[in-house]
Amino acid sequence: MEINKMKQWLDMAKQFHQGQFWDSVFDQDYTKQVMEQFTNPAVSVNQAAAAPSFPRAEVLKSNREIVILIDLPGVRKEEVELSIMDGSLYIKGVSNQSYPDLQVVQAERFKGEFERAIPLPDKVGSGAKISAKFDNGMLEIRIPRPQRPRENIRIE
């Protein structure tokens, strides 16, 4: 029985030595992305980690409305698209390089195309008067909350 274990160990060590072991352990695309972070100085570790949550958002609500604040530093309002579907606010756009003619030495801010769904706390009616205002890199979206009329309950 000990000989069988030793043989298994040797087979595994052989695979490890040939590089096949790590190929099977790690997903190829993920490994490539991680390695690119270390070999390409223009891509930072923080940028890759932040990409799924870009842009940063805050959802607030009162009795009358839902307010969504979205940070979009360096993004022009013409490069942003907003839509509402299935109880979520969808934001899509592009964050371009501020100085495309300069070489990047260190990059910590997200650049490129982005798309994100932000779940809303209430369903939004199709006729809702939604407003959006873009000022100094901050997008503010206001969605009126459906007002439910007060309903009296008859006591028997």
CB-based contact 69:58 (threshold 8 Å): yes
Task: Kindly report the CATH number assigned to the domain that includes residue 114.
Answer: 2.60.40.790
Q: How many C-beta atoms lie closer than 10 Å to residue 142's C-beta?
A: 16
Same domain, 106 and 66: yes
- Number of separate domains in the chain: 2
- pLDDT surpasses 90 at 96: no
Same domain, 60 and 137: yes
**Hey, what are 150's tokens?**
């007060």
Instruction: Determine, yes or no, domain membership for 34.
Output: yes
d(CA 29, CA 33): 6
Same domain, 85 and 139: yes
Q: Which of 89, 92, 93 is nearest to 68 (CA)?
A: 89
- pLDDT at res. 120: 92
Same domain, 21 and 59: no
Instruction: Determine, yes or no, domain membership for 87.
Output: yes
Q: What is the pLDDT of residues 116-131, one digit of tens each?
A: 999 998 888 777 789 9
- Does this model's pTM top 0.85? My answer is no
- pLDDT at res. 6: 76
- pLDDT surpasses 80 at 146: no
- pLDDT surpasses 80 at 141: yes
**Hey, what are 21's tokens?**
């072991």
Domain that holds residue 106: 55-144
Instruction: Determine, yes or no, domain membership for 95.
Output: yes
